[in-house]
């Protein structure tokens, strides 16, 4: 399949002129993306670095939109001062809004957007996200993840839209269109990174070799998570058993399940793809020439550039960095995310070319692809965005959009006696559970920090605040469910602990004992019990469910918790449906033909009022 080349003649002439003018070292610099905490002042200019990124939590201090704009602007300025003045592309993970930045609109994570099945909504979210990202001078977003989670024990399940390739393709295409807006060279357009190529969500349990318990003291990436002694406990619970593992599937399955969203996103104009840490039948994706070059660039006609994931090339041949670099570049990686030792990478790549392990043609192809994206984005003409955009960061309009997304993402899965929606004249409502008043719990991972956190991590409306605003004077709250009075209705909010990536791989998907105790207390004191779950994936709740009159999957809704209140109080209908299967027992994980679902993909009770109501 051939895509129309994204550049006109003038743009192509600029790229070819630069290629002729650039030294080998400058070309290697363009192929390098360090993390901002590693970059020494002046090195963007000196080494002609092509990109800098903020990893999860790579924030300035203070962490404000203005400080972000200043921080990024300094790198852009350094790039313009390099010998050829090639503009720099700054990259962030804005996977559910500009989520590293305090004060931005945090949208529901992708699994929730999958439950809306609303491509126009996802496009509008992409557009709003692009505006808030561009406000901070950032023009590259490592999103959308088009991961198709096969084993829901995976810590990245919530980053994908779901398990239906057609739905994921539609939403990925819509999000890319949203990031683009009117045109790629509009200064509010943001380059998407479709990730992680390919079959990142199909790995087998126990196949990941990411974590070496005996080498934790030298693992700089895991140190960023600052997990402390809790890390060993997470490893015992299954952390890093799936993520970055091996996808043992045949090519027909890989093509049928995992390829369609990439085709759709490329047809929508995406000019960057991020390679996956994972392997396919034992061969690391970062060294997979057939898939990265023959399939992605050849068969799909991808004219953009492939970026590696974080230090991922180092995993190809541990201890032999020269081979890591040569094999990754020869496989089709065009830009390398080198969070720490970026000069070592540049020197190794130059040496690999000089000794013939990497050809000059391959280097020119990689740099041509990178420069093409920068020309398409108009970076040579408008190197910085309009500072007036800072006014839209976290604005009422974007928060209203996020609230709409929350409403449309809720999935009602049990509603005995039609207890929901609650009637407006319910005398007093008990809201229970610490998660009901915890911004961190409702945002989940990839929020302000890589792993996310608890408490007021960023401005927003908790579910409790939503109820208090809607029912002034008629809401009682108990974090642990210990109450003396009886209530006609109790709304108990439970949640998963926030997590990101392999840190969230779990052998068991269940509510913790403390929350189960809270639920038991509320059950005792209420005539009707409504349970709202904040989670990045289905949990095994089969045994507890009969005790609940109603059950709502709220996923990870983000900052606008009043979207939950809107629907539970009947101000908007339940319309969400599952974008993943909901397993009945742990024995049904991962999915097989024999797996039993509690609810199938597509399930969800709607409460749209018909004319007959
Ligand atoms: C992470 C993730 C990837 C992210 C990148 C930069 O390890 O795998 O999704 O975009 O590093 O933060």
Using the mean position of ligand 1's atoms as its centre, give its distance from the Cα of residue 337 in Å: 9
- Give Cα 465 distance to the centre of its chain: 26
In 3D space, the residue among 134, 144, 135 whose CA is nearest the CA of residue 109 turns out to be 144
Q: Which atom of ligand 1 is nearest to the CA of 93?
A: 10
Q: Does domain 22-207+242-392 have CATH number 3.20.20.300?
A: yes
- Count the alpha carbons within 13 Å of 143 in the hemisphere toward its beta carbon: 33
Q: Which atom of ligand 1 is nearest to the CA of 142?
A: 10
Using the mean position of ligand 1's atoms as its centre, give its distance from the Cα of residue 468 in Å: 38
Q: Which homologous superfamily is 410-599 in?
A: Glycoside hydrolase family 3 C-terminal domain (3.40.50.1700)
The residue to mutate among 52, 59, 93, having the most atoms of ligand 1 within 8 angstroms of its beta carbon, is: 93
Residue nearest to atom 12 of ligand 1 (CA): 55
Instruction: Look up 501 and say whether it is catalytic.
Output: yes
CB neighbours of 21 closer than 8 A, spacing ≥ 6? 84
pLDDT for 216: 82
d(CA 76, CA 71): 9
d(CA 297, CA 142): 19
3-state helix, strand, coil in the chain (%, to 5): 40, 15, 45
Instruction: Look up 334 and say whether it is catalytic.
Output: no
Using the mean position of ligand 1's atoms as its centre, give its distance from the Cα of residue 309 in Å: 6
d(CA 387, CA 137): 8
Show the beta-strand stretches assigned E in 37-147.
51-53, 89-92, 140-141
Cβ atoms of 262 and 273 closer than 8 Å = yes
What is residue 437's DSSP assignment?
A: G
- 51-53 and 32-33 strand pairing: unpaired
pLDDT for 191: 98
What is residue 416's DSSP assignment?
A: G
Cβ atoms of 110 and 445 closer than 8 Å = no
Using the mean position of ligand 1's atoms as its centre, give its distance from the Cα of residue 196 in Å: 9
The alpha-carbon radius of gyration of the chain (Å, integer) is: 24
Residue nearest to atom 7 of ligand 1 (CA): 310
Q: What is the SS3 assignment for 173? A: helix
The torsion angle over the Cα atoms of residues 397, 400, 401 and 406, rounded to 10 degrees, is 160
pLDDT for 611: 60
Using the mean position of ligand 1's atoms as its centre, give its distance from the Cα of residue 53 in Å: 10
What is residue 478's DSSP assignment?
A: E
- Rounded mean pLDDT for each run of 10 residues along the chain, 613 residues in total: 79 98 98 97 98 91 98 98 98 98 99 98 99 98 98 98 98 98 97 98 97 86 82 95 98 98 98 98 98 98 98 97 98 98 98 98 98 98 96 98 99 97 89 98 97 97 97 97 97 98 98 98 98 98 98 99 98 98 97 93 88 57
Residue nearest to atom 11 of ligand 1 (CA): 310
Cβ atoms of 437 and 491 closer than 8 Å = no
Residue nearest to atom 3 of ligand 1 (CA): 309
Q: What is the SS3 assignment for 140? A: strand
Q: How far is CA 66 from CA 60, 376, 393, in A?
A: 10, 26, 10
Residues lining ligand 1, Cβ inside 6 A = 55-56, 93, 142, 195, 309-310, 501
Residue with tokens 């009075």: 485
Residue 73 burial (CB < 10 Å; 0-12/13-18/19+)? middle
Task: Give the active site residue among 164, 309, 404, 562.
Answer: 309
Using the mean position of ligand 1's atoms as its centre, give its distance from the Cα of residue 23 in Å: 30
Largest interatomic CA distance in the chain: 79
d(CA 140, CA 377): 10
φ, ψ of residue 566 to 5 degrees: the values are: -50, -45
pLDDT for 239: 97
Q: Which atom of ligand 1 is nearest to the CA of 193?
A: 10
Residue nearest to atom 8 of ligand 1 (CA): 309
Residue nearest to atom 1 of ligand 1 (CA): 310
The residue to mutate among 54, 98, 143, 310, having the most atoms of ligand 1 within 8 angstroms of its beta carbon, is: 310
d(CA 219, CA 310): 13
The residue to mutate among 98, 142, 225, 313, having the most atoms of ligand 1 within 8 angstroms of its beta carbon, is: 142
Using the mean position of ligand 1's atoms as its centre, give its distance from the Cα of residue 306 in Å: 14
Task: Give the active site residue among 437, 501, 549, 562.
Answer: 501
Map out the domains of the chain as residue ranges: 22-207+242-392, 410-599
Using the mean position of ligand 1's atoms as its centre, give its distance from the Cα of residue 183 in Å: 26
């Amino acid at each position: 399949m051939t895509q129309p080349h994204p550049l006109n003649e003038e743009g192509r002439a600029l790229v070819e002129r630069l290629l002729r003018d650039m030294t080998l070292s400058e070309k290697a610099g363009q192929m390098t993306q360090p993390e901002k905490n590693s970059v020494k002042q002046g090195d963007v200019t000196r080494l002609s670095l092509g990109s800098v990124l903020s990893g999860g939590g790579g924030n300035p201090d203070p962490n404000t939109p203005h400080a972000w704009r200043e921080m990024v602007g300094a790198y852009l300025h350094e790039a313009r001062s390099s010998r050829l003045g090639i503009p720099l592309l700054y990259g962030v993970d804005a996977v559910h809004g500009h989520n590293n930045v305090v004060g931005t609109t945090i949208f529901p994570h992708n699994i929730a957007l999958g439950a809306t099945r609303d491509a126009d909504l996802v496009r509008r979210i992409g557009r709003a996200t692009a505006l808030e990202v561009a406000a901070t001078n950032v023009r590259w977003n490592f999103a959308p993840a088009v991961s198709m989670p096969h084993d829901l024990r995976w810590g990245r399940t919530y980053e994908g839209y779901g398990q239906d390739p057609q739905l994921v393709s539609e939403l990925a295409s819509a999000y890319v269109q949203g990031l683009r807006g009117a045109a790629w060279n509009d200064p509010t357009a943001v380059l998407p990174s479709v990730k992680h190529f390919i079959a990142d969500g199909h790995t087998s349990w126990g196949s990941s070799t990411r974590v070496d318990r005996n080498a934790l003291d030298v693992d700089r990436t895991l140190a960023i998570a600052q997990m402390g002694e809790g890390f060993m406990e997470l490893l015992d619970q299954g952390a890093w058993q799936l993520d970055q593992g091996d996808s043992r599937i045949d090519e027909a399955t890989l093509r049928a399940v995992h390829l369609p969203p990439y085709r759709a996103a490329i047809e929508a104009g995406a000019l960057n793809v991020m390679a996956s840490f994972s392997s396919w039948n034992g061969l690391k994706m970062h060294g997979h020439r057939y898939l990265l070059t023959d399939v992605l660039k050849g068969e799909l006609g991808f004219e953009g550039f492939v970026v590696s994931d974080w230090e991922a090339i180092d995993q190809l041949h541990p201890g032999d960095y020269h081979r890591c670099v040569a094999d990754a570049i020869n496989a089709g990686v065009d830009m390398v995310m080198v969070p720490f030792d970026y000069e070592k990478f540049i020197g190794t790549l130059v040496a690999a070319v000089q000794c013939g392990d990497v050809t000059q043609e391959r280097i020119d192809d990689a740099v041509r692809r990178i420069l093409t994206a920068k020309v398409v984005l108009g970076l040579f003409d408008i190197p910085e965005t309009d500072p007036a955009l800072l006014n839209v960061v976290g604005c009422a309009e974007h928060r209203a959009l996020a609230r709409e997304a929350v409403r449309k993402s809720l999935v009602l899965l049990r509603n005995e006696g039609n207890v929901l929606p609650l009637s407006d004249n319910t005398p007093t409502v008990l809201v229970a559970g610490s998660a009901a008043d915890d911004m961190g719990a409702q945002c989940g991972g990839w929020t302000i920090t890589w792993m996310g956190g608890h408490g007021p991590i960023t401005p927003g409306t908790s579910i409790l605040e939503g109820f208090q605003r809607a029912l002034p004077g008629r809401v009682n709250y108990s974090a642990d469910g210990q109450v003396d009075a009886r209530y006609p209705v109790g709304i108990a909010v439970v949640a998963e602990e926030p997590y990101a990536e392999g840190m969230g791989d779990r052998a068991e998907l269940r509510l913790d004992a403390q929350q189960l105790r809270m639920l038991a207390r509320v059950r005792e004191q209420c005539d009707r019990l409504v349970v709202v779950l904040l989670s990045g994936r289905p949990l095994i709740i089969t045994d507890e469910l009969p005790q609940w009159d109603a059950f709502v999957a709220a996923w990870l809704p983000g900052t606008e918790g009043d979207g939950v209140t809107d629907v539970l109080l009947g101000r908007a209908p339940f319309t969400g449906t599952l974008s993943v299967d909901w397993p009945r027992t742990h024995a049904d994980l991962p999915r097989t033909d024999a797996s039993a679902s509690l609810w199938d993909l597509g399930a969800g009770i709607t409460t749209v009022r018909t004319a007959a109501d």
